[in-house]
Amino acid sequence: MGRVVHTLNEGEVVCGVTSLAGEIYVLRDKERDQVEVYDVITYRLRRCLTVPNSRTFEDITSCEHYCCIYISDWRVDSIHRLDAQGAATQWPVNNRPQGLSVNAVHNLLVTCRTARKIKEFTTDGHIVRTVCLPGDVINPWHTVQSRSGQIIVCHGGSDDAVQRVCMISADGRHIVHSHGGQPGSHADQYDAPRHLAVDNDEFVFVVDVFNSRVTLLSPTLHYVRQVVSSDQLKWRPLRVYLDTHKRFLYVVESELKHGEWTTGRVVVFSV
C-alpha cells in the first residue's frame, strides 16, 4: 500500500496534476490563476499561471521533451498548450476532449468520450491520426499508450453496465486484454474507472472513483493489489499522475456534495 508523503492545500476543485522540470502543476477550476506551480521538493507555491480563453477544464498533462503542459477544455472543444513561462496557444479538437496523455514519440493523445475516439496531435496541434474504439468500449475517459503501441483505455460511467480497463491493438480494432466488467466493489470490478498512469515497467494504476481507491494492474491487466485505499483518502479520487523517477503517485481527490464536485486537493503517495 502506498504511503502518504504530503498533502497540498485544499481549495477549488482540482481538475488534474502533473509535473515538469522540477515543478508540480495543479489545475484548479477557477476564473484566474488556474494553474498553481509548486516546488517538487518543498511543495511551496512558486507562481500561478492563467489560461487565456478558457471555460471548463477536464485534464492536464506535461511533455518533458517540448517543456510544455497541455490542458483539455471540453466546453470549447479545445486544447490549451502552455510553456513553462506561461505563453499559451490553443487549437480545436472538433470533439469534446476528456483525458490527456503524451506517448513515446511525444505526441498528445486526447480521449474524446462522447465520440468514442482517440485523437493524436503533434505539439503544435496538427492531427496525426484518429482511432475509433471498438463498439463495446462505451464512455472512454482516459487513454495511455504502451511502448509497443497498444492503447490502454478506462471506460464506463457509474450508470454503464460495463466498466473496465482495456488494452486495445494499435489500430483500435481489437481488445487484447481487459480487467473489470460488471460494476461492483470486488477486486476485479470498478465503479467509474476514470484515470490511468503507467510506470516504466508498464504496470497500470487505475483511479476507481466511487470505490475510492487506486488499483495496480500488471502489463497484461491482471490484478496486482490496491496501492491507495478508501481509508487513505478524505474524498473521491478523480485523477492520478505518477512521477516514475521518484515513484511518487499524485492523487487528485474532490468532495462530492449534492451531485456537484466542490473542494479539491492533491495527496502525494510513495509507491
Going by the DSSP 8-state scheme, the letter that residue 148 receives in this structure is: T
Nearest to 139 by CA among 124, 152, 158: 158
Coil vs helix vs strand at 232: helix
Q: What does the pLDDT read at residue 157?
A: 86
Average pLDDT value for residue range 38-55: 94
> Is 148's pLDDT higher than 90?
no
pLDDT of residue 159: 87
Residues 256-271 have pLDDT tens digits of 998 899 999 999 999 9
φ and ψ at 123, to 5 degrees? Answer: -70, -20
Domain that holds residue 122: 3-270
Question: Looking at residues 173-185, what average pLDDT do you find?
Answer: 95
pLDDT of 153 > 90? The answer is yes
Reading the block at residue 137, the C-alpha cell is 468500449
Under the banding of pLDDT at 50, 70 and 90, the label for residue 199 is very high
The pLDDT of residue 170 is: 85
Cα-Cα-Cα-Cα torsion 67, 68, 69, 70, nearest 10 degrees, comes to: -130
How much is the pLDDT for 36? Answer: 96
How far apart are alpha carbons 125 and 38 in whole angstroms? 27
Q: How many domains does the chain have?
A: 1
Cβ contact 24:37 at 8 Å:
yes
Segment holding 100, helix H or strand E: strand 100-102
Please give the pLDDT value at position 17: 98
- Within 8 A by CB and 6+ apart from 159, the residues are none
User: Is residue 27 predicted with pLDDT exceeding 90?
Assistant: yes
**AA letter at 221:** L
70-81, pLDDT tens digit by residue? 999 998 999 999
Section 165-179 average pLDDT: 93
Summarised one tens digit per residue, pLDDT across range 56-65 is 999 999 999 9
CATH number at residue 112: 2.120.10.30
